[in-house]
Amino acid sequence: MCIVLLPFASTAFYGYKIYHEDIATTFEDIIHAQHRVLLPLERVQDIFWDISDEINDYAQEGGAGHIVSFEASAKAVQTQLSEMSLAIADNNHYEHILHGVKMHWEQVLKAAPGVMEGKPTAVDTKLQIFERELSKAGQQLGQLAEELRSESEEAHRTTLNAIKKFEAIALLAAILAIGLAVLTIYLVDRVLMSSTDKLVEGAMRVASGDREQEIDIQVPPELASVAKAFNTMTRQIVLQEAKLQSAARLDGLTGLKNRREFDLRVADKIAATRKKAGTTVLLLIDVDHFKRFNDSHGHLAGDDALRHVAMVLAAAARETDEVFRYGGEEFALLLSDIRQDQILQAAERIRREVEKTHILLPNGEYDTITVSIGAAEFTDGLSFNDIVGQADKALYQAKASGRDKVILAKS
């Protein structure tokens, strides 16, 4: 009996060794490394959005507040890059990517002081260099994230190879066991092989891009631990990807959908209009005398005011409507499924909602703020530029005729 059981004892020992060295340790190292690198990487990508907004706002509007915010964000980037350097100290093959990020970041820092203040119509070479280098740094951060994903996939392949080795040892033990061979093969097939197949199947699903279904393994405990570690890592990857996608769609200051999302949704609405799928109206909304407000109360108060207006617009919108930050102190609303006789009424309601609210200032006092609105209806045959141009022209008329009013573009 001892001789018969010896192959199984040896197999168990060797199988645990493979699990511990080639599977569990590999996954633990990968998860730990990705946790240390991905967190600062994500923070740097988020800060890049804020830095781009600050410099572009500075180039559009001027003001020392944007410079102060830029300097604070730049310090935060330096801190996160230092953390990433420490995190990849044991992974030399990542150093060249991080070195590239740092080189482009140095060019961003050199270009930023030369950006012209408040000259949106001038050709600003420094601003172009700033945006190009910031974009390149962001691309290299994306490359680093892709490298981490590839390393994760390599860990999956290592696990599959380790499992195959274990299968070979188990098969040899079954042949040598003679009397217990049939029983051993049966138990391995019903317990171990079933769990192994689940792990292999789960790894292949992740490799093919399906990350929704988790691997459910209860026995044996070793593979259950591997499955748990695998599921944890997969959830973390999905979470990081979701955060990156969300950051690309939303405005960092107000939390509304950004200009990129606006362009996509307007294109969709134009296509729907051609198919006669309901009436849509575009409202372009501009905060009245916003520069004066900033000059009087400071840019931080100005940011609070923009967030306040965004909150009011979001609350006033219907479930079928969509709210965007168009840029600077301008917002946009897409009103869906609305009758022509309701357009001015809906726009006026939104204007009054903003007008009747009060904004808390840094000195503890309250101030009011108003908006001017230009409205344009989506009609068949109009292009993106036509619709936005009509709404913009109506907005200009509203501002030129005294502000705090609504103008509907003529069809």
Query: Which positions ≥6 away from 346 have C-beta within 8 Å?
Result: 281, 335, 338
**pLDDT for the residue numbered 404:** 94
**pLDDT for the residue numbered 61:** 75
pLDDT at residue 342 above 60?
A: yes
Distance of alpha carbon 58 from alpha carbon 387, whole angstroms: 28
pLDDT at residue 191 above 80?
A: no
**pLDDT for the residue numbered 122:** 59
Q: pLDDT: is 58 or 272 the higher one?
A: 272
The token duo for 259 is: 């200009």
Question: 193 to each of 108, 160, 169, how far by Cα in Å?
Answer: 55, 13, 13
pLDDT at residue 132 above 90?
A: no
Distance of alpha carbon 2 from alpha carbon 9, whole angstroms: 10
222 labelled catalytic? no
Q: pLDDT: is 282 or 180 the higher one?
A: 282
Binning pLDDT at 50, 70 and 90, where does residue 331 land?
Answer: very high
What is the average per-residue pLDDT within 192-199? 73
DSSP string covering 150-202, please?
HHHHHHHHHHHHHHHHHHHHHHHHHHHTGGGHHHHHHHIIIIIHHHHHHHHHH
With 0-12 / 13-18 / 19 or more C-beta atoms within 10 angstroms meaning exposed / middle / buried, residue 408 is buried
pLDDT tens, residue by residue, 133-176: 878 878 877 887 787 777 777 777 777 777 777 777 777 777 87
DSSP annotation of 373 reads: E
pLDDT at residue 347 above 80?
A: yes
**pLDDT for the residue numbered 205:** 75
Binning pLDDT at 50, 70 and 90, where does residue 4 land?
Answer: low
Binning pLDDT at 50, 70 and 90, where does residue 310 land?
Answer: very high
| Stretch among 70-74, 115-119, 314-318, 401-405 having the lowest mean pLDDT | 115-119
pTM of the predicted structure, to 2 decimals = 0.45
Length of the chain in terms of residues written: 411
Active-site residue identified among 61, 131, 322, 329: 329
pLDDT at residue 215 above 80?
A: no
Query: Which among 241, 213, 237, 240 is positioned nearest to 227, based on CA atoms?
Result: 213
Distance of alpha carbon 141 from alpha carbon 53, whole angstroms: 19
pLDDT tens, residue by residue, 359-384: 888 888 899 999 999 999 998 888 99
Query: Which among 287, 324, 316, 323 is positioned nearest to 403, based on CA atoms?
Result: 287
Query: Which among 257, 282, 283 is positioned nearest to 382, based on CA atoms?
Result: 282
Distance of alpha carbon 111 from alpha carbon 70, whole angstroms: 13
pLDDT at residue 401 above 90?
A: yes
The token duo for 31 is: 């998860």
In contact, 374 and 394? CB cutoff 8 Å: yes
Average pLDDT, the chain: 80
Binning pLDDT at 50, 70 and 90, where does residue 346 land?
Answer: very high
pLDDT at residue 277 above 60?
A: no
Question: 328 to each of 253, 282, 286, how far by Cα in Å?
Answer: 10, 18, 9
What is the average per-residue pLDDT within 91-119? 76
pLDDT tens, residue by residue, 80-104: 788 877 777 766 667 777 778 888 8
Q: pLDDT: is 405 or 106 the higher one?
A: 405
- Report helix, strand or coil for 109: helix
pLDDT at residue 195 above 90?
A: no
Q: Would strands 330-336 and 371-377 be described as parallel, antiparallel, or unpaired?
A: unpaired
**What radius of gyration, in Å, describes the C-alpha atoms of the chain?**
30
Question: 228 to each of 28, 193, 217, 235, 392, how far by Cα in Å?
Answer: 11, 17, 8, 11, 55
**pLDDT for the residue numbered 134:** 78
Residue 308 host element (H or E): helix 299-316
**pLDDT for the residue numbered 187:** 62
pLDDT at residue 333 above 60?
A: yes
Query: Which among 255, 351, 362 is positioned nearest to 302, based on CA atoms?
Result: 362
Question: 382 to each of 272, 284, 332, 403, how far by Cα in Å?
Answer: 12, 17, 18, 27
DSSP string covering 357-369, please?
--EE-TTS-EE--
What is the average per-residue pLDDT within 334-356? 92
Query: Which positions ≥6 away from 208 have C-beta within 8 Å?
Result: none
What is the average per-residue pLDDT within 262-285? 84
